[in-house]
Amino acid sequence: MGVNVKKIQAILFDLDGVLVDACDWHYLALNEALRGIGIPPISRYDHETTYNGLPTKVKLEMLGLHEDECALVWKLKQEYTLETIRKNAKVQKEKIELFESLRQMSVKIVCVTNSIRQTAKEMLKATGQLDYFHTVVSNEDVKNNKPFPDCYNHAVKTLDLDPDQCIIVEDSPKGIEAAEKSIVPSKNILRVENSTEVNLRNVWRFIDENFDSNGW
């Protein structure tokens, strides 16, 4: 494909909407947890336009729940999320093809997510992706989550790489905002609409179009 892999040393992937289409899983699990303590569910529209991409604790604070309610709903939501993942997750063959190619080129594969680590790893494991990842950066690793850039900056510094050696793959407005505010150059951000766009062909095309012959 004419791609040179000397310069790009790592690709940092968001999770929900990039590696796994989990927005609906989070929506269903959150509403099940809210119902569990007698709180009316939120609409799908509100979840997609206001809450999607935010950590569960932030969602609950925005809903105005008391501290004890937040703790209970958060616990229930994590349980329902794991249950939903196990019921609905499928192996992502296009991701496996991409990761196999990156592995052969010694490119580090990193997940950077607003989810907790357990949920992120469970999603990656259930979809056959986990073994390809160098590390997972979760909302437990930083003080400020997306749309703040902390998670991406943390990932780059943990890898001990020059920001220009990293690519970020993001889909949501909050995630893209975090990426754009991070130390990774804007030209290194691959913006996608959904997880189906994250495949070998599109990643290679992005690199060919945005980096010179020494880009890898």
Percent of residues, the chain, with pLDDT higher than 70: 95
Please tell me what DSSP assigns to residue 20: B
Question: Going by CATH, does the domain composed of 23-88 fall within 3.90.550?
Answer: no
10-20+90-210: CATH topology = Rossmann fold (3.40.50)
- Cβ atoms within 10 A of the Cβ of 136, count? 20
pLDDT band at 161, cuts 50/70/90? very high
pTM: 0.83
For 140-156, the pLDDT digits (tens) are 999 999 999 999 999 99
Range of lowest pLDDT (21-25, 153-157, 198-202): 21-25
Quick one: average pLDDT of 195-203?
96
Whether 114 has a pLDDT exceeding 50, the answer reads yes
Count of H-run helices and E-run strands, the chain? 9, 5
Angle value at C-alpha 152, between 148 and 154, nearest 5 degrees: 105
Q: Which of 18, 9, 76 is nearest to 211 (CA)?
A: 9
Task: Return the SS3 of 16.
Answer: strand
> Kind and range of the H or E element at 13?
strand 10-13
CATH 3.40.50.1000 occupies which residues in the chain?
Answer: 10-20+90-210
Whether 4 has a pLDDT exceeding 60, the answer reads no
Beta bridge partners of 110: 12, 135
Whether 212 has a pLDDT exceeding 80, the answer reads no
Higher pLDDT, 156 or 3: 156
CA distance 208 to 111: 23
CATH 1.10.150 occupies which residues in the chain?
Answer: 23-88
Q: Which of 134, 131, 129, 80 is nearest to 107 (CA)?
A: 134
For 37-88, the pLDDT digits (tens) are 999 999 999 988 888 878 888 889 999 998 889 999 989 988 988 888 888 8
Whether 125 has a pLDDT exceeding 60, the answer reads yes
Which tokens go with 115? 């989810």
What pLDDT is stored for residue 2 in this prediction? 44
Q: Which residues contact 42 (CB under 8 A, 6 or more apart)?
A: 30, 31, 34, 51, 63
Which tokens go with 86? 């196990």
What pLDDT is stored for residue 6 in this prediction? 53
Mean pLDDT over each residue of the chain, to the nearest integer: 91
CA distance 97 to 94: 5
